[in-house]
Amino acid sequence: MRGSYPPDPGAQHPMLDARLHLLDRQVIDVDGEPVTAVDDVELSGPPDPRHLSPDDPAPAVTGLLSGVTLGTRIFGGRSPRSRLHSIDWRAVSDVGVTIVLHIRAGQLEIGWTERWVRDRIIAKIPGGRHDPE
């Protein structure tokens, strides 16, 4: 499966099962640094799904969503869209065991809280600046 997603713009689009290939997968940046895990996906499609026609194109993934979803997984419901961060699908270079991006994590807004905690809190703990020995 390596290198098969997303396909070249001129290639025939392969089928992608969002639950199987995307949800809960770890997202890795171009340098191999973990970015986040996928909590949901954004799809293209008709504005009103009740008015589908056979001529409408199949939905396509336009973005990967991540954010605070623990409460909704425990109690049900959906996270408000404003609480989720999006990674543009065009930033994805590979879908395999992990989802690999062709950009750096610092270019995304998604990891700012983790970077803030790392730099402001964890770095001040003795031994917090290096891996354990």
Task: For 65-118, write each residue's pLDDT tens digit.
Answer: 988 776 777 787 777 777 788 999 999 999 999 999 999 988 887 766 667 777
- Find, among 65, 91, 94, 88, the residue nearest to 5 by Cα: 94
- Tell me, what's the pLDDT at 131? 62
Checking if the pLDDT of 56 tops 60, the result is: yes
CA dihedral (47, 49, 52, 58) positive or negative? positive
CA–CA gap between residue 19 and residue 1 (Å, rounded)? 16
Sign, CA dihedral 14-11-2-108, equals negative
pLDDT tens readout for residues 3-22: 445 544 444 556 778 888 99
CA distances (Å), origin 129, targets 32, 41, 45, 120, 121: 19, 34, 46, 11, 11
Confidence of residue 130 (pLDDT cuts 50, 70, 90): low
Reported as a pLDDT band with limits 50, 70 and 90, residue 59 is confident
Domain ranges of the chain: 18-124
Structurally, at CATH architecture level, domain 18-124 sits in: Roll (2.30)
What is the distance, to the nearest Å, from the Cα of residue 45 to the centroid of all Cα atoms in its chain? 19
Cα(79)–Cα(90) distance, rounded to whole angstroms? Answer: 24
Per-residue pLDDT averaged across 20-36, rounded? 90
H or E segment and range at residue 34: strand 34-37
Model confidence at 40: pLDDT above 90:
no
Q: What pLDDT, on the 0 to 100 scale, is given for residue 7? A: 47
Instruction: Find all residues with CB under 8 Å of 18, minimum gap 6, and list them.
Output: 41, 61
Can you give the pLDDT at residue 77? 79
Q: How many residues does the chain have?
A: 133
